[in-house]
Amino acid sequence: MLRKRLRNERKEIGAEERARRSESIALNCLKFLKDFPKVQHIHVFLPIKRLCEINTVPLLRRLFKLEYRVYSSVTLHGSRKMAIVKLTADTVYETDKLGIPVPKSPEFVTDAKLIDLVFVPLLGVDTLGNRLGYGQGFYDTFFKELDSNVLKIGLSFEAPMPEEIPHETHDVPLDACIHPDGSILF
């Protein structure tokens, strides 16, 4: 019920407003990163347009300009696993059969432990860092492959919600959330 409500609320945000908020989120990500100077290897999700996700392209452009090492993932279809791929400013993308942008010629990365920080998509997050995703468990599975100290940062069109999001023992909480008006550590 909550997942459906949040999906509908997101779809009601107009394209111009989504673009404005995505730009604000990108700028707030850079402000956030200033407090973590040791972070060099950053995983960023690629936006799925049909889900009206935050457009991470403005963030990616800035990260490349600042010479961060940037990665994303491709879904290994038929499983709940994601394979890490390296991204550069020159990466060419295509859309896979699920409507997800993916590198046309992916450069796979085998050492998941090198990732310092993951920017995570979400539908909602509460003030305790409990994330509501799409319900498939891809990121919870992915987090298990990463170093235990990796920073898990949710990107949200809205500030964290005061109501607690239902969660289970296998759900991995976030360390922070970045939204158009700023960021919050959990």
Q: Is 68 annotated as a binding residue?
A: no
Domain chopping of the chain, boundaries: 2-185
Q: Is 131 annotated as a binding residue?
A: yes
The answer on whether 139 is annotated among ligand-binding residues is yes
The verdict on whether residue 132 carries a ligand-binding annotation is: yes
Please provide the DSSP assignment of the chain as one string.
-HHHHHHHHHHTS-HHHHHHHHHHHHHHHHHHHHT-TT--EEEEPPP-GGGT----HHHHHHHHHTT-EEEEEEEETTTTEEEEEEE-TT--EEE-TTS-EEESS-EEE--GGG--EEEE--SEEBTT--EE--SS-HHHHHHHHS-TT-EEEEE-SSPPBSSPPP--TTPPPPSEEEETTEEEE-
Is 93 annotated to bind a ligand? Reply is: no
* Residue 136 annotated in ligand binding: yes
CATH code at 2-185: 3.40.50.10420
* pTM of the predicted model as reported, rounded to 2 decimal places: 0.94
Is 45 assigned a ligand-binding role in the annotation?
no
Q: Does 53 carry a binding-site annotation?
A: yes
pLDDT per residue of the chain (186 residues) written in tens, 0 to 9: 899 999 999 999 999 999 999 999 999 999 999 999 999 999 999 999 899 999 999 999 999 999 999 999 998 777 778 999 999 999 999 998 878 899 999 999 999 999 999 999 999 999 999 999 988 888 988 999 999 999 999 999 999 999 899 888 888 999 999 999 999 999
